Chain A
Amino acid sequence: MAVVKGNSQGSQANGAGGNGNGRSTWPSRGKGYSVPGSGVTFPPLRNRLKALVVDDMSACYRYERAILQSFGVETDVAETGEEAVEIFANGAYYDLVLIEKYLTIYAMTGVEATRRIRGMGFQGKMLAVTAFTSQSDRFEFFDAGIDAYLIKPITHEMIWPYLLQIDNQIA
C-alpha cells in the first residue's frame, strides 16, 4: 500500500459538495494569496483543488507542497513512481500532478510513471517539474503524456495559470 503524505482527508470531501468522482466541488476556503512585498495578489480559487506531487527529494516536495497549499490546494506526496501509480490504481482522484523526471535511480522514472498514470485514464493536468534537461528529455516526457514542463524551482507565478485553468474548467 502506498504511503501518501499529505494534508487531504481522503479522496472524498467531508461535508457537502462531492461530485461522485472523488473531487470536492465545495468553495475554496482560501482568501487568495498575496506575495509578500511584491504587491501581487492571486484571487481565491472557486473550487477546492487536489494535487499530487511526485518527487523523492524531500526539500523539493515540501517546497512544492507549500506553494500549492498557499493557494488552498490539498496536496499529497508520493516519493516514487511506483507509489504514484499505486495511488491512482487505488482510485484516488487529483486535479493536478506535479512530477519529477528523475526519481529513485533505477526504479520507475517520472516518465514511466506518467505513461502508466495516463494509461489508467487520468485526464487531469500533469506538469513535469525538474531541473534543466535536454530537448530529447522533454520530448520523451511530453510523449508520455505531460501537459507542460516547468523548471525547478516553481514559483507562485509559474503555477497560477495552470490552477486557474483547472479551476475554470470545473463547473
Chain B
Amino acid sequence: MEKKQQLHRQVVMMRQSLFDQGYVDDQFVQLEELQDDTNPNFVEEIVTLYYRDSARLISSIEQALERSPLDFDKLDNLMHQFRGSSSSIGARKVKAECTQFGEHCVGGNGEGCMRSFQRMKREYSALRKKLEAYFQVARQAGPMDTASRSN
C-alpha cells in the first residue's frame, strides 16, 4: 500500500512538473477530463497518436527542407498541421516553435526555418521523454481519484 502511495505521489509530482516547466498547457487538463471509466487510457492514447502523426510530419518537413529552392507554402502547410496536432495535446513549447517556424515561412527565411525546426525537434524530444516517463509511472501506480490531482 505504501509503495502505491509513493507511486501516486510521484505521478502527482511528475504531472505538476510538466506544467511548471512549461511542457504542457491547459489543454492537457482537457484531455484528462475526457478520461473516464469508458476511456481509461484516453490521455496516453491521444499522446501516442500524436507521436505517430508527428513522426510522419517531421520526416516530410525534413525532406522539404532539403529541397532547393525551398517551397515555403508546403513547409508552412506541414508545420500548420504539426501545430494543430501539438495544440490538441497541449504541447506548449512545441506549439510555440511551430508558430516561429510559420513566421519564418511567411518571411521566406530559410535559415530561420532551419533553426526553428531544430529547436522544435529538441522540444519535441524533451516532451516525449517527459511524457513517456510520466505514463510509465502512472501505469505502475494505477488509477487514482481526481482529488489526488493538483493543478
Contacts and interface: CB of A to CB of B under 8 A. Distances in A.
A131 B96 CA distance: 12
Interface in A117-134: 130-133
B88 A57 contact: yes
Interface string B44-63: 01110110110000001000
B27 A37 contact: no
B25 to A, nearest CB: 10
A63 B31 contact: yes
A164 B77 CA distance: 33
B84 A57 contact: yes
Interface in B116-132: none
Nearest to B83: A131
B117 to A, nearest CB: 17
Interface of A: 35-37, 56-60, 62-63, 66-67, 70, 100-102, 105, 130-133, 152-153, 155
B136 interface: no
Given A59-B50, A133-B80, A70 B34 contact: yes
Contacts of A152: 84, 87-88
Contact of B53 (A57, A66, A132): A57
Nearest to B64: A105
Contact of A66 (B27, B34, B146): B34
Interface of B: 27, 30-31, 33-34, 39, 42, 45-47, 49-50, 52-53, 60, 74, 77-78, 80-81, 83-85, 87-90, 98-99, 146
B17 to A, nearest CB: 20
Contacts of B84: 57, 60, 100, 102, 130-131, 152
16 contacts: A37-B33, A56-B81, A57-B81, A59-B49, A59-B89, A60-B84, A60-B88, A63-B31, A63-B89, A105-B74, A105-B77, A105-B78, A130-B80, A131-B80, A131-B84, A132-B83
Contact of A59 (B39, B83, B85): B85
B46 A37 contact: no
A74 B99 CA distance: 33
A70 B39 CA distance: 11
Q: Which of B53, B81, B87, B89 has the most CB of A within 10 A?
A: B81
Contacts of A57: 53, 81, 84-85, 88
Contacts of B88: 57, 59-60, 63, 152-153
A139 to B, nearest CB: 17
A67 B87 contact: no
